[in-house]
Amino acid sequence: MSYDVFLSFRGEDTCRNFTDHLYSTSIRNNMSTFRDDEELPKGGEIAPELVQAIEESRVAIVVFSKTYADSKWCLEELLKIIYCKEERDLKVIPIFYHVDSSEVRNQKGIFEEAFAHHEENADEEKKLKIRRWKTAMKEAGNLAGYHVKDSYESKIIDDIIEEIHGIIPKVLDVNDNIVGMDSRLERLISLLKIQFNDV
């Protein structure tokens, strides 16, 4: 796997606060984390690099915020994330950032408005895509996640990081400057050469 964590979020809502803090904390905890800071141009499709990053991640964190469903790009990411959850056993952790999980699940309130906007002048192909987005959003909204509303964000981020630590495999990070290893490594290499020559 290339990434421990893939972050899906609406930039204008959370990129300079919650998502940035979550990203920074995951990096400080030695988690390989993908965060895309680029905005997709209007009418653009999800970039192949994003698809690959989702496919090569162990955990996807979806930060549902007030304008998440306004973004076709976010909805395309969500669709791919839910696909990978079902087909590749990707672990998905939803974050409900100042939104209610029932509004996400049932596409009510601001989410209903966002989908109504997407449906304006939609042809049959686009209507099919919108139905798939709604299904993916319903499935993600049904998952147990974290609610960020009237609580300390740092505590929630710590809880998320702890959960991710329970999901990703433990790896010992060893650098090149281990005291006393050179002589032991040279001895091991010489033994391997002796055994190789005896074969």
Distance CA 44, CA 66 (A): 21
For the chain, percent of residues with pLDDT exceeding 70: 87
In this structure, are residues 15 and 74 in contact, taking their beta carbons and an 8 Å threshold?
A: no
> H helices within the chain, ranges in order?
11-14, 18-28, 48-55, 72-88, 101-106, 110-119, 124-141, 153-167, 181-198
Q: What is the pLDDT of residues 159-171, one digit of tens each?
A: 999 999 999 977 6
- Asked whether residue 173 carries a pLDDT value surpassing 80, the answer given is no
Q: Which of 76, 77, 103, 112 is catalytic?
A: 77
- What pLDDT is attached to residue 40? 44
d(CA 107, CA 138): 8
77 is catalytic: yes
| Secondary structure (3-state) at 97 | strand
Rounded average pLDDT over 2-19: 90
Residue type, 73: W
Give the strand pairing for 146-148 and 91-97: parallel
pLDDT in tens, 91-143: 999 999 999 999 999 999 999 999 999 999 999 999 999 999 999 999 999 99
Under 8 Å between Cβ of 109 and 119:
no
Spell out a b/e string for 20-46, using b for 16 or more CB atoms within 10 Å of the CB, else e. eebbebbeebebbbbbbeeebeeeeeb
Please give the pLDDT value at position 82: 98
Positive/negative CA dihedral, 12, 17, 18, 22: positive
Q: What is d(CA 42, CA 40) in angstroms, rounded to the nearest whole number?
A: 6
What pTM value is reported for the model?
0.81
pLDDT, residue 106, reads 96
